[in-house]
Amino acid sequence: MVAPPLIPGLAPGVLLFGLMPTETSQATDVRILRDKAARLRIDSVLSTTEAGSGHPTSCASAAEIVSVLFYSVMRYDPHDPRNPWSDVFVLSKGHAAPILYAAWAEAGLFPRERLLTLRRLDSDLEGHPTPRLPFVDVATGSLGQGLSAAAGIALHAQLADSGQRVYALLGDGESAEGSVWEAAEWVGHRGLSNVCATIDINRLGQSEPTMLEHHMEIYKARWEAFGWQALVVDGHSIPALLAAYGQASLTTDRPTVILARTIKGKDFPDIEGKEGWHGKALDKEMAAKVVAHLEGELTGVEKNWQPRLPAARPGAGKDGSAATKPASAPKPPYRLGGKPLAARRGFGDALAALAKTDPRIVALDGDVKNSTYTEEFQTQAPGRFFQGYIAEQNMLGMAMGLAARGHVPFASTFACFLTRAADFIRMAAISNLYLKLAGTHVGVSIGEDGPSQMGLEDLAMICAQPDFTCLYPADATSAWAATGLIAAETGPGYIRLGRPNAPILYGPEETFAIGKCKVLRRGEKDRALVVAAGVTVFEALAAYDELAKQGIAIRVIDLFSVQPIDRAELAASAHAAGGIVITVEDHYAHGGLGDSVLAALAAERVKVVKLAVREIAHSGKEAELLERFGISAAHIVRAVHANIG
């Protein structure tokens, strides 16, 4: 045992607690790891200087951490980054991408020369990591997301009994993000000891020093209070890092965070520790000087490095994550003319049914399972249900991690609270993960709870993301169908679900498809087309009845699939109905169903009238609010009269 190194400037009472390797092995290991760290720094400089942009100083502070993790601590196959038994590394501080790429090149996955394609359109070595690269699970670069993804991957490892450990590397600047504390509290509460986070505390943010600078004792107190083992180390001391990761691997009752005190730009002469160097590539002359300095540190011993390969375990995939095809969903149990049910109920029922047939599916809740009806899934498959509490960002981040490892996660809450995780939705789209979202309690039709609980911008938020499927079922039967469709679809998806009970509109034999609408009323003499979805479908049908009494025929479409949209049927019906289209939606006017219909018909030269919520809503009764905010049957009738000329 060697005494732990002293850390300059550390508050009294904050001591490194850990094991050390024997002096002999350490002497060898440390030399290799020191060389590797220098090589990682060199490659980070060369690639960013070649690109003309990037964050070399943010790589430099993490060089010993990455070296120790990649070349001593982690078990993984450098030639098979998707190996299901390999330990997993998540780079939460995504702007340090060059050192991640350098680490894999150094491990042998691809030639070092490719590092010089950094940030080019023809290279997947992008400015920040994305899963276009086989060794990246989730896109990072929007800070504060990596720990949640790591938690999801760690849950997978537990479910699969795969023996994987997950190492997340965070920056100190991003530790200010609330999402980090959501992840910290959840992982600590769950005691996920296969998660090990490292914080590269280099003291400097982009534009000024961080809030806590090098106050390691404050970091330690915070993480301990959140249920973690917190080890403070000199982040440039390889023995100290080895000791800390050794201690982490021996701890089985809680997660560990390594609080690594580091220097930004470490080992870059004239740059290290200085402000004003965030996100700046070195010019060629400066780079040459820095590289020469770093090359002077190399001993050549690092060529002796051998990977620690993972041990295959039969467990991986037994959790369903290896199942690649969905089991077909059973038929919905509702009958035409049966008891009115909410669309959200159809979702909850279907998810519970899928729990039995599709082992890939897991569910995550934000303490509203009795409103979204995912409590039915919990009853069916308690081991695959995760209570995320009121922390939507972490719920989404964990779902991203689970999705990256083969699960099909359904994360659900009130649609309005999905806005809490808008940035995670954005990053899930960039990651092209099979993330499934369900948002309930949409629109003014929720009634008395008032505007703060009404999802009125969820379609704008989610349809904006390319490749996101968005379904908006009107009744329990179509909600049941939507759940199965979205589960089977490869890619991210969203189901928009109303709160009120509604009649059963479709029988159990009705078939639904992504990208297809339902024409509910159609005649030879239709004078307008009304496109509705969700609660407004019933308003449109009431308007149809009222207008029919007046001798006016209209066509009524239940859009069902907002994205992709049934352009062909909409165009054909619009023209068949005299080129007059009225859209009606329980959503704000911008970015909703109406805009999707407008975009689909943009080339058709038809007239579109959009009925939507155009002001801040209010508490009240469902019917009153539909009327007050302009989306009731009466408003549809008036719009038809006003436009059929």
Q: Establish if 452 lies at the interface with a second copy (CB under 8 A).
A: yes
Q: Which of residues 510-569 bind a second copy (CB under 8 A)?
A: 563
Question: Per CB under 8 A, does 54 bind a second copy?
Answer: yes
Closest by Cα among 379, 363, 359 to 318: 359
Binders of a second copy in range 474-493 (CB under 8 A): none
Tell me the closest approach of the beta carbon of residue 282 to a second copy, in angstroms: 15
| 76 near a second copy, rule: CB under 8 A | no
Sequence-ordered list of residues with C-beta below 8 angstroms from that of 374, at least 6 positions apart, any chain: 348, 351, 363, 365, 385, 410, 412
The answer to whether residues 166 and 195 touch, using CB atoms and an 8 Å cutoff, is yes
Residue 265, SS3 per DSSP:
coil
Least distance in Å: CB of 367 to a second copy? Answer: 5
Q: Name which of residues 150 to 179 contact a second copy (CB under 8 A).
A: 173-174, 176-179
Choosing from 284, 335, 356, 590, the residue that interacts with a second copy (CB under 8 A) is 590
Longest dimension (CA), the chain: 95
Residue numbers 100-159 binding a second copy by CB under 8 A: 119-121, 123, 126-128, 130, 139-144
Q: Measuring CA to CA, which residue among 373, 372, 374 is closest to residue 363?
A: 374
Query: Cβ distance 625 to 499 under 8 Å?
Result: no
Scanning 75-83, 401-409, 539-547, 616-624 for contacts with a second copy by CB under 8 A, the matching segment is 616-624
Q: Quick one: which of 60, 145, 146, 127 has its CA closest to 99?
A: 60
Q: 596 in helix, strand or coil?
A: helix
Residue with tokens 């509460």: 189
**What's the N-to-C CA distance of the chain in angstroms?**
91
User: Which residue among 112, 527, 607, 638 contacts a second copy (CB under 8 A)?
Assistant: 607
Q: Which is nearer to a second copy, 144 or 163 (CB)?
A: 144
Query: For the stretch 423-452, what's the b/e string if a residue is b when 16 or more beta carbons lie within 10 angstroms of its beta carbon?
Result: bbbbbbbbbbbbbbbbbbbbbbbbbeeeee
Given a contact cutoff of 8 angstroms between Cβ atoms, the answer to whether 626 and 598 are in contact is: no
Of 31-39, 153-161, 420-428, 501-509, the window that binds a second copy (rule: CB under 8 A) is: 420-428
Radius of gyration, CA atoms only, the chain? 28
Active-site residue flag, 275 = no
Whose Cβ is closer to a second copy: residue 221's or residue 513's? Answer: 221
Q: Whole-number minimum distance, CB 289 to a second copy, in Å?
A: 24
Dist. CA 601–CA 405, nearest whole Å: 39
* Contact flag: residue 640 with a second copy (CB under 8 A): no
Regarding 191 and contact with a second copy (CB under 8 A), the answer is no
Interacting span for a second copy (CB under 8 A) from 2-10, 102-110, 547-555, 619-627 = 619-627
Gap between the Cα atoms of 440 and 581, Å rounded: 27
Annotate each residue in 371-410 with x if it binds a second copy (CB under 8 A) or - if it does not, as one string: x---x-----------x-xxx-xx----------------
Nearer to a second copy, 64 or 126 (CB): 126
Tokens encoding 92: 């939460």
Residues 494, 368: Cα–Cα separation, whole Å: 17
Q: Does 365 bind a second copy (CB under 8 A)?
A: yes
- Active-site residue, selected from the candidate residues 177, 392, 539, 622: 392
Stretch that binds a second copy, among 69-77, 218-226, 285-293, 533-541 (CB under 8 A): 218-226
User: 162 or 393: whose CB is closer to a second copy?
Assistant: 393
Task: Tell me how far the alpha carbon of residue 23 is from its chain's centroid.
Answer: 43
As measured in angstroms, the least distance from the Cβ of 434 to a second copy is 15
Rounded to a whole number of angstroms, the minimum distance from the CB of residue 309 to a second copy is 32
Under the binding rule (CB under 8 A), the answer on residue 13 touching a second copy is no
Catalytic residues: 392
